[in-house]
Copies of this chain bind each other. A is one copy, B any other.
Amino acid sequence: MKLTLLGCYAATPRTITNPTSQVLEIRNRMFLIDCGEGTQVQLRKNKLKFSKINHIFISHLHGDHMYGLVGLISTFMLLNRQTDLHVYGPKGIKEIILLQLRYSNSFTGYNLYFHELESKESEVIFEDDKVIVKTIPLQHRIYTNGFLFQEKPKERKLNVAAVEEYQIDKAYYRKIKYGGNITLDNGQIIPNAELSFDPEPTKSYAFCSDTIYNEAIVPLIQNADVLYHEATFLESEADKAEKTMHSTAKQAATIAKLANVKHLVLGHYSTRYSSIELFQQEAETIFPSVLLGDDGKVFDFE
């Protein structure tokens, strides 16, 4: 599981800071999360292949999380994309994108699917054989979702020595990997535990931005491997955080602690502060494993 932060600053694109966008690579899938202005250039700078993006998740319809989407969709057209593209985001996102494509008399040569979200409860919005994605309803000034990406249980690992010893036919390997016991020709039942090893543990990633401090999300992200939680302000501006429905670094760390996640990645910093290290220092007073997000940073969670 690998996370690339294309942009993790609040509000407005600047010369060296970019609005929210990130790429999660998990089980050979590449998910784009949010798409602020300049995302396509950040993808290029970070040498991420446009063609590997098939699913885009948009948390909410504030510009710093989605003004780069229409341009990316247009660039996919110019690149002669053929593969389906799926966009998951709040109701309205389809109207916004299609209106602009219509006025520019541009039509995608690929199928563009919008999955519009309106539920205030967590729901499964993507699922294939390896990954499942659920919404994390957040509290912000407009309708907003975080996203929880969970690996599905991996196959058990074949105990090669054991299956050879019992002379088990290869046809049964799949059954063993999925946890089944094997009955030999002589009627003897070999329990799965003798024929396989536990799979690698599954990983999960929770993206939570933008949101006011909200303990209601804790059960949804309990024990996640990695939590990205916005920290627009420091605790000294807790009043501004509350007023604008954002969080402080301390609040982000508190959520991480309550949810017992392994690592907390901070981001969505206001540019009012002299140094983003201040966010890390504040969060570390509450939670031990704080990773300081920054544009272009790559976190490898293998």
Contact = CB atoms under 8 A, between A and B. Distances in A.
A295 interface: no
B62 A12 contact: no
A63 B104 contact: yes
Nearest to A60: B104
Interface string A60-92: 011100011011001100100000000000101
Contact of A141 (B44, B78, B105): B105
A13 interface: yes
Given A37-B38, A38-B38, A99-B95, A12 B74 contact: yes
A82 to B, nearest CB: 18
How many copies of this chain? 2
Contact of A67 (B45, B61, B62, B70): B70
Interface size class of A (residues with CB under 8 A): 20 to 34
A111 interface: no
Interface of A: 11-15, 37-38, 40-41, 44-45, 61-63, 67-68, 70-71, 74-75, 78, 90, 92, 95-96, 99-100, 103-106, 141-142
23 contacts: A12-B74, A13-B38, A14-B44, A15-B41, A15-B45, A37-B37, A37-B68, A38-B38, A61-B100, A61-B103, A63-B100, A63-B104, A63-B106, A67-B67, A67-B70, A67-B100, A90-B103, A92-B103, A95-B99, A95-B103, A99-B99, A103-B142, A105-B141
